Structure 1
Amino acid sequence: MNWAVMLESLPALAEGALLTLELVAVSGVLGFMLAVPVAIARVSDRWWMRALPMAHIYFFRGTPLLVQIYLVYYGAGQFEAVRTSMLWPYLSQAYWCAIIAFTLNTSAYTAEILRGAIQTVPRGEIEAARAVGMGPALIWRRIRLPRAFRIALPAYSNEVILMLKGSALASTITLMDLTGVARTIIARTYTPMELFLAAGLIYGLLTVFILSGFRLIERRLNRHLRPR
């Protein structure tokens, strides 16, 4: 075991870890913002409102993330209309292609998590809100969504961890994230065991950091349930 190579590579791996966190954070926020309206439409009583969200969820949950990344990165440039549009400055960059693919992927999984949480909101709370004169929009804003967010939080933390691990695929389109940096150093030093072990330890630390953050959020949101 070449410990010297591991220690010398730590600064470069740390820079890659920052890009990994950036990819997860940006795509996570955008994916959550997209997932909320998709989940609301998913529980609608009207079939025509459910159709498009169901197709979105089915496609992005039913195909590998790597295929989705390749479709965005390699596929978008095949169309002349895309190359001449205002989107091309973004779609021609690997960073934004990864963000788009990660956002669409995580939005599908998050929408299903939220859909299940929305459907498990106690019906008595909704009936009580109607009894005091709340309208449908106010019930969504004051009762259904806040309650669903609390219910979905543990499952959503698992989705963020899965997204962190899936972000390693960004290295396949030339991004120098944590895995990409490790692969580059391995090609130069021929020490795969040491570099992948170091990268795995950093991924583990990032996972602990993310889970600790979600535990704090969950404790904050459910502080009213703790005994006095």
Structure 2
Amino acid sequence: MLNIIQNYAPVLLDGAMLTMKITFTAVIIAAVFALPLAILRTRQERYFRLPVQVFISFFRGTPLIAQLFLVYYGSGQFRPFLMEVGLWGFFRDPVNSALLAFTLNSLAYQTEILRGAIQSVNGGAIEAGRAIGMKATLLYRRIIMPLAYRLAFPALGNECILMLKGSAVASVITVMDLMGQTRRVFSQTFDISTYFAAACVYLLITTGFVLLWRQLERHLIRVH
């Protein structure tokens, strides 16, 4: 394995950087849209709640690799339309397709996590806010969302880690992420320790992320 690291470290490092770029970009974009979808998911009106529920059920109930194939290979079925609206350049790039599939998958999980957190917020705090005349928008901004994010924080961290590990499937559509570069190196060397080296890199990334997330969680507890 030492020879693999010595000879192919720059290649594996490039793959690791692409893995982190795709994963964390997808998670951040999903986080932006997860909040409004989670609020819609908690609404009583069926026409607000049902579309979000269907979206969540589909992306949580199907394999990530199937979603990736649907985006990357499925978009080819609509090539004339996508070319007409100027989107074919986006979908024919495997990195963009992986980013879109990962974003949608993470969005479904983050939305459901936040939905559960919102519904778990102490009712007394909400009633207290209403008692002093807070409108719905201010109530969400000052009471519901800060408490919900505090409750959801550990689960959101787990979702990031699962997405990071799940991102390895991007290599099946020729994305040269960490796993893609590992497969390429293995095809040249036939040295199985290549995969062990890749596993160590994944472990280092996830360990670093866990330590950072714990620090953020401690800071959040001190603030509140």
TM-score range, shorter chain: over 0.9
Q: Deviations over 1:51-110 (max 9, x none)?
A: 110010010011110011011101012112123212222111111101100000000011
Aligned length: 223
Q: Amino acid of the residue matched to residue 183 of structure 1?
A: R
The DSSP-based 3-state class of the residue aligned with 1:183 is helix
Q: C-alpha separation between the residues in 2 aligned to 1:159 and 1:111?
A: 11
Aligned to 1:54: 53
Q: Which moved more, 1:183-192 or 1:5-14?
A: 5-14
Amino-acid identity (%): 43
Normalising by structure 1, we get a TM-score of 0.95
Aligned to 1:183: 183
Q: After TM superposition, what 4+ stretches of structure 1 lie above 3 angstroms from structure 2? A: none
Q: Deviations over 1:167-216 (max 9, x none)?
A: 10111111110000000000001112x11100000000000111111111
Matches within 5 A, 1:26-175: 26-79=25-78, 80-175=80-175
Q: C-alpha separation between the residues in 2 aligned to 1:103 and 1:224?
A: 30
CA RMSD of aligned residues (A): 1.1
Q: C-alpha separation between the residues in 2 aligned to 1:7 and 1:56?
A: 45
The DSSP-based 3-state class of the residue aligned with 2:73 is helix
Q: C-alpha separation between the residues in 2 aligned to 1:205 and 1:8?
A: 19
Normalising by structure 2, we get a TM-score of 0.97
Give 1:224 deviation, angstroms. 4.5
The DSSP-based 3-state class of the residue aligned with 1:44 is coil
Q: List gaps (5 residues or longer) in structure 2.
A: none
Q: C-alpha separation between the residues in 2 aligned to 1:83 and 1:66?
A: 25
Q: C-alpha separation between the residues in 1 aligned to 2:37 and 2:4?
A: 47
